[in-house]
Amino acid sequence: MNLNWVILIIGGIFESLFALSLGKMQQTTGKDMLGWLIAFILFVSLSMLLLFKSMGGEHPIPTGTAYAVWAGIGAVGTVVLGILVFKEPVTFWRIFFLSTLILSIIGLQLTSTVAK
């Protein structure tokens, strides 16, 4: 796995964190809400920057693949955080489709070609 994939995975994690901060903003007011807003701005900025960085350099990830993997990692992370932080339901079908999404992300990474 080249460095761009590591950068992309970290960017996807920050995408999950910016979604988490949106949920926390809805649950808070005043200074707490402002803190979550600042966290959101930081997380979304880092997420986008890392997505951008993963598509450049010596071994760039193709744009379509990078975006799909980044969004998929963010989606998986957001569902997991929703379960852990917001006590969202854990059902067979949620876990089943989450698993298929994870397999799709891995498949995209394994079949990705380097952009020329």
Residue 36 is part of which domain span?
3-111
Residue 95 lies in a domain: yes
Please count the other Cβ atoms lying within 10 Å of the Cβ belonging to residue 96: 10
pLDDT digits (tens, 9 = 90+) for 40-85: 999 999 999 999 999 999 999 999 999 999 999 999 999 999 999 9
Q: What is the pLDDT of residue 113?
A: 66
- The answer to whether position 116 is within a domain reads no
Go through 42-56 and write b for each residue having 16 or more CB atoms within 10 A of its CB, e for each that does not: ebbebbeebbebbbe
What percentage of the chain has pLDDT greater than the value 90? 90
Query: Is residue 88 a part of any domain in this protein?
Result: yes
How many separate domains does the chain show? 1
